[in-house]
Amino acid sequence: MVDARSPATVGSDVKVAARDLTIRYGSHVALKDVTLDIRENEIFGIIGPANSGKTSFLRALNRMDAFTTGMSVEGDIEFAGHNIRTIKNLYALRKRIGVVFPLPVGLPLSIYDNVALSPRLSGTKKREDLDVIVERCLRRAALWDEVKDRLKSLGSLLSGGQQQRLTIARALSQDPDLLLLDEFSIAVDPVTTMRIEDVLKELKQEVTIVLVTNLVQQARRLADRTAFFLMSECVEIAETEAFFDGRVKDQRSIDYVEGRFG
């Protein structure tokens, strides 16, 4: 087991702390003995080849194991000082943790109602209050100017890149403290990807972001620190630029970012 806590986290506010985290699907070990800290208001990147445990880590952060057949989680995860494994109100937890999946998950609702759904479920009923929330979230997702004149149109009629930004706006409508992004750019064109990346750079002033990506250059552009997962283990964690200029301890990390495998 590699203890992936960085000395740089000493004295910093820690938003997420994973301790001896092991994730299984039946008898298969997806992630083994991971210990790491994620700072408040940073973009924390996770890179590594397929089936290295990256998405499983995100699932554990959002307690998706509660709805995933055969998935079991051992160890502790603290979020904002609370052990999420002992939290009984999963709705309250997920309200604070937004998730954006690889492919846009559009609801069969209008653009407006996609964003307004979570606030409504939380008790916001006044139209003027919802209007403010919808506009703010669409602006934060860099989508407002493109859709402000057709908010009653179905969100599913938007382009793929617009739907992904709508997904981000919907996640932000919860006012999350933590935003999890799992390969958000798989179905998005390069121009839209760069727009979303610009949005994420601004959002980290307000939200802690965990970014899982197979694109090492995307991690380099966005992440403050990066963890390298390989074969169900966290090999190491370092300042992102350290991976690209050879200042990491494990040769496998250098080999991966330089494209020698993966």
Q: Where are the domains of the chain?
A: 7-257
Lowest-pLDDT range of 53-57, 121-125, 223-227, 236-240: 121-125
- For the domain 7-257, what is the CATH code? 3.40.50.300
How, if at all, do strands 233-239 and 225-230 pair? antiparallel
Q: 10 Å Cβ neighbour count for 25?
A: 14
For the entire predicted model, the pTM comes to 0.89
pLDDT in tens, 76-121: 999 988 899 888 888 888 889 999 988 777 789 999 999 999 999 8
Amino acid (one-letter) located at 173: S
Mean pLDDT, residues 185-198 taken together: 87
Kindly tell me if the per-residue pLDDT of 262 is higher than 90: no
Residue with tokens 């997420």: 16
Kindly tell me if the per-residue pLDDT of 122 is higher than 90: no
Q: What is the pLDDT of residue 17?
A: 96
Of residues 58, 2, 5, the one with CA closest to residue 30: 58
Kindly tell me if the per-residue pLDDT of 5 is higher than 60: no
Mean pLDDT, residues 183-207 taken together: 89
Which comes out higher in pLDDT, residue 59 or 106? 59
Q: How confident is the model at residue 132 (pLDDT cuts 50, 70, 90)?
A: very high
Backbone angles phi, psi at 171, to 5 degrees: -65, -40
Q: What is the pLDDT of residue 11?
A: 39
Q: What is the pLDDT of residue 67?
A: 83
Q: What percent of the chain has pLDDT over 70?
A: 95
Of residues 191, 126, 145, 196, the one with CA closest to residue 167: 196
Residues contacting 45, CB < 8 A, separation 6+:
211, 212, 213, 219, 222, 223, 225, 226, 227, 240
Of residues 18, 41, 33, 27, the one with CA closest to residue 179: 41
How, if at all, do strands 82-83 and 71-79 pair? antiparallel
Of residues 122, 127, 199, the one with CA closest to residue 167: 199
